[in-house]
Structure 1
């Protein structure tokens, strides 16, 4: 009994500062996006969503690099994502082009919020089970990027969102539906960010920055729209016969999930063999 209390006393208490500080930055950006949209500054609200994406991309990587992962940090990150990539984009779309559509407007915004909530809940329950190379359903930051990019593009060209309210509603609902779909999206987690690359690759990165800087609203909107379309394309190409389970529903019965699991096992086996060969070479 005394030994058990001694072990509890030696457990570290408190939370890690750096990753949770970055998560808080993303949460602040999402909240600011809501406030800015309420004040009619839709361009600034959209930019705040993209800033929240930067914080969201950094907090997890910093936590892994500094070995400061925690259950608290994971839960806090999900709650921050719900605001920044669920509630905030929906309210931006509603304030910009949906609030004059009546019930259709706020229902379209709610579909997006519900889709983001379900997407995050499903992602949290599948951590460590699904193939890391793919996301099941459109990731909430990407869906938020479609909304924020579209509103930013419209605001930059002084387009009245209410004049295209039905198009805004259609895009908002489609983004919400894609989040809860079974379509596969590349996660890019298999990219070796620590590995060496050629000088040409660095030049290509510089070129991408230049292209984005020329017209960030248009380029970002196009990138996230293309990514959203890539999911159905990848899924349809990877199955022999498209079924309802491949689009929505119980993904456990889908053929592509079996292929996904097999691919993940094969990838793990290849990685283990590579490590064994590297160790033998060192010995």
Structure 2
């Protein structure tokens, strides 16, 4: 008598292998990719790291305009790497740590050395102390960001973000070089900017992060016109337009802080709700 093969038993969940494959294909039950090293987002991070290193080399060669622009390019690449990682679903813990190390070079060590070589060298000990305060503030700011990312309100940064602090340094250098003014003529202004940026990075002052802006929603026509006008104003004279904008942002956090304090509102930006944290923000 012929024997027919028995039917395979169903899996414990009672679902076929095809349904399991389909579920995994659609993202259900798939393991999160958190330990890999992905080329695309980390290429942007490497580009930002190169720009920071290039800024240091240019400062040592007394080519401060090139150093300032390199810091600005590093800011642009730093803003792209995380977004590229989220769009391509290539977030990883390696990328988050690599991004922090790159930020320390591009927005910590590089601006400190640039401002020291440009304007603070003539102040002696006070000069390198101011540069060190800025560098230490950037390191502490990045370390606190990595540890507090799960408890801080996404709408605000806790303290001045390191790219914005670097933009104050780079904007000042770029403005002076554009006006053909030697930095040694304004050492105390540079000293004040370095101290202000370094200390503000480690304060609890809230700075708006622009992360709650949804670019997928429709906007009025006037908004598109204002964006075009903004870029047109920058193109007229970038050094004279960018630096005041960075100064306004650097002071905006204190305006928010004291306005909340005057109204009796809580000034802490630590989350009190149980809203889950998007781990992709870590990049």
User: Does TM, scored on the shorter chain, surpass 0.5?
Assistant: yes
Aligned-pair CA distance for 1:218: 1.5
Task: Give CA deviations for 1:216-235 in whole Å, capped at 9, x if unaligned.
Answer: 11211111100010111101
SS for the counterpart of 1:81 is helix
Distance 2:231 2:263 in 1: 40
Deviation at 1:12, TM superposition (A): 8.8
**CA drift at 1:14:** 4.6
Aligned ranges for residues 67-146 of structure 1 at < 5 Å? Answer: 67-146=89-168
2:267 corresponds in structure 1 to 256
User: Structure 2: how far apart are the matches of 1:12 and 1:73?
Assistant: 9
Larger Rg: 2
Distance verdict in 2 for CA 1:182–1:12, change over 3 Å: closer
Cα separation, 2, equivalents of 1:12 and 1:145: 31
Aligned length, in residue pairs: 244
Which structure 1 segments of 5+ residues have no match? Answer: 1-10, 243-253, 270-283
Distance 2:119 2:223 in 1: 40
- The answer to whether residue 163 in structure 2 is matched with residue 153 in structure 1 is no
Q: Which runs of 5+ in 2 are unaligned?
A: 1-32, 277-283
Give, in angstroms, the shift of residue 112 of structure 1.
0.2
Q: TM-score scaled by structure 1?
A: 0.82
Distance in 1, matches of 2:181 and 2:143, equals 35
Structure 1 residue 196 corresponds to structure 2 residue 196? no
Report the alpha carbon displacement of residue 256 of structure 1 after superposing the two structures with TM.
2.0
Match of 1:19 in 2: 41
Query: Is residue 48 from structure 1 mapped to residue 70 from structure 2 by the alignment?
Result: yes
User: How far does residue 200 in structure 1 lie from its aligned partner after superposition?
Assistant: 2.1
Distance of aligned partners of 1:78 and 1:12 in 2 relative to their CA distance in 1, 3 Å threshold: closer
Q: TM-score by structure 2 length?
A: 0.82
Greater fraction of residues in helix: 1
Q: Distance in 1 between matches of 2:70 and 2:223?
A: 29
Structure showing greater relative contact order (alpha-carbon pairs closer than 8 Å, 6 or more residues apart): 2
Q: Pairwise CA RMSD of aligned residues?
A: 2.0
Hey, which bits of structure 1, 4+ residues long, moved more than 3 A? 11-14
